[in-house]
């Protein structure tokens, strides 16, 4: 997968006010160097209230750290209290946004149609959606993880063009592995990531299959990332808990060491 640059993305979730966010980005910037950024794309996903501060820091110091949001409204403007639009995120320099994270699906009842609408809203503002997919424990126990995740993929990319899909990032995040300390084995991650890639080829083109980056997420830590990244269809990691400490996140970016 030489054509696909590895991506390590930190999902900070509901952590870090804007002061704490500035501190963490500064710590990352201090530790990471040009060789790290050449080898691996580094992205952080802070809360909305930190984005302006992160933008100012990244722009002012010309940092190679990318950033984005954890959610986006499917609407561009109007009477949608509490929502944040793609246009607002683009103005803050966001390159990425999570759509369909399992915590949004679970606690905010986001279904595949909403996730698809959010992906389209992001693309309309030139922001790359990180489309999160993954089965719960019941589906895994029944052995249906591939069929379940492929169905989520098809619903998530509905009506997207080939060009849009090639820009997309997909994150396979089995729900039973998120925040539980129970990481999928490299073979489990490869099984589903490989199936997702094959389906992209069937739905679109061989190029879409070859170029779209597919991440694994779920209890990724410094001591388990290497085996997962060694798998041919895994192009990076979406990291929650282990992205909150600079030292640990830097180790993840240096997964080859």
Instruction: Return the number of the residue (100 or 204) whose C-beta is nearest ligand PEP.
Output: 100
- Tell whether residue 241 is among the known ligand binding residues: yes
Could you tell me how many residues of this chain bind ligand PEP (CB under 6 A)?
A: 13
Smallest distance from ligand PEP to CB 55, Å = 22
Answer yes or no: is 13 a known binding residue. Answer: yes
Handedness of CA 220, 173, 85, 62 (dihedral sign): positive
Token pair in block for residue 137 = 């424990």
16 is in an annotated binding site: no
- Binding ligand PEP (rule: CB under 6 A), the pick from 239, 246, 252, 253 is 239
Residue in the shown chain whose Cβ atom is closest to ligand PEP: 240
Q: Is 241 in the site for ligand PEP (CB under 6 A)?
A: yes
Helix, strand, coil percentages for the chain (3-state, nearest 5): 50, 15, 35
Mask: binding to ligand PEP, 169-208, rule CB under 6 A, as x and -? ----x----xx-----------------------------
Buried b (16+ CB within 10 A) or exposed e, 126-154: ebbbbbbbbbeeebbeeeebbebbbebbe
Whether 75 is a known active-site residue: answer no
Can you spell out the DSSP letters for 73-122? -SSSSSS-TT---HHHHHHTT--EEEES-HHHHHHS---HHHHHHHHHHH
Tell me, what DSSP letter sits at residue 254? T
Q: Which of 47, 174, 218, 236 is the binder for ligand PEP (CB under 6 A)?
A: 218
Nearer residue to ligand PEP within complex by CB, 103 or 208: 103
Which residue in the list 103, 110, 173, 191 is annotated as catalytic?
173
Catalytic (active site) residue 20: no
179 is known to lie in a ligand binding site: yes
The catalytic residues are 101, 173
């Amino acid at each position: 997968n030489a054509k696909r640059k590895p991506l390590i993305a930190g999902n900070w979730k509901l952590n870090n006010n804007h002061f704490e966010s500035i501190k963490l980005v500064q710590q990352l910037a201090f530790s990471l160097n040009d060789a790290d950024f050449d080898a691996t794309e580094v992205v952080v996903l802070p809360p909305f209230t930190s984005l302006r501060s992160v933008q100012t820091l990244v722009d002012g110091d010309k940092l190679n750290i990318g950033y984005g949001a954890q959610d986006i409204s499917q609407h561009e403007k109007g009477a949608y209290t509490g929502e944040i639009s793609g246009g607002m995120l683009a103005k803050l320099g966001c390159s990425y946004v999570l759509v369909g994270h399992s915590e949004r699906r679970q606690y905010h009842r986001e279904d595949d149609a909403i996730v698809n609408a959010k992906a389209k809203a992001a693309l309309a503002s030139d922001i790359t959606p990180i489309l999160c997919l993954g089965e719960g424990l019941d589906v895994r126990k029944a052995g249906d993880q591939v069929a379940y995740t492929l169905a989520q993929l098809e619903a998530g990319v509905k009506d997207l063009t080939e060009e849009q899909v090639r820009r997309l990032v997909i994150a396979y995040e089995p729900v039973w592995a998120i925040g539980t300390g129970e990481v999928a084995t490299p073979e489990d991650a490869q099984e589903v990531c490989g199936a997702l890639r094959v389906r992209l080829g069937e739905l679109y083109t061989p190029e879409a299959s070859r170029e779209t980056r597919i991440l694994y997420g779920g209890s990724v830590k410094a001591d388990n990332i290497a085996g997962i990244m060694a798998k041919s269809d895994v192009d990076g990691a979406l990291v929650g808990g282990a992205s909150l400490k600079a030292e640990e996140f830097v180790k993840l970016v240096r997964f080859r060491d």
